[in-house]
Structure 1
Amino acid sequence: MAGNRGTDGWDLDSDRVDEDMVVLRKRIQEIRITDESISEQSGWMEWEKEYYMTVYSSDVCELVGLLQRILMNTRPSLAIGTILLVLICVPTSLGLLLHHLMVVSGSVLSALHIS
């Protein structure tokens, strides 16, 4: 093993990957893409297929990297508080929206005299 290591102590030429590594997930995704053939996806527009095949993965990685940089530069309590606030507000807002939709639909149905 020591003979295969580079100057920094890591084996840079190895094809072996750990299951937690991004490289493995990317390889699995590439295999799935070739197996499923994006062209068979009905309902996708041509620009969607092109975007998914070319830059989607890099855009997602950049977004996650940006989020990680922002969270790493903040105090832990602020990051945890922000995440908790979002986790509480989104379901509450959705529930309130559904409640209002039900009230409006009830009003519409009663106006049409349909019970």
Structure 2
Amino acid sequence: MLQTQYEFTLPKGYMDEEGNFHKNGIMRLATAMDEIRAMRDPRVMQNPDYAAIIILSHVIIKLGSLPLVTVETIEKLFASDLKFLQEMYETLNGLEGPVVRVTCPYCGKEFTTEMDFKG
């Protein structure tokens, strides 16, 4: 069965208006509509890098005890937490090459490596 949701723990954590920290969350796999919706947003048209903020606000379905994760929530993350989530998103959604377990035909040692389809 395909896993579509992944738990995470932020390095620092999101601090809400009351000073409470929220570190644990769940990210789901992105859909094509998540990315299309972001590209249609006027903020992305002005600044393409803003797409990551919008997409993360859709694919993060839980963050601590917050009732909802919004664009404003993602905007207020510490930079290290934002970077962590962007890297997680890229890994989960296949923006990096898939990692496979292989066995060396010469020595028999098993290891993991990233498949490179670009040559």
What TM-score do you get using the length of structure 1 for normalisation? Answer: 0.23
Larger radius of gyration: 1
More strand by share: 2
What TM-score do you get using the length of structure 2 for normalisation? Answer: 0.22
Q: Which has the higher contact order (CA 8 A, sep 6+)?
A: 2
More helix by share: 1
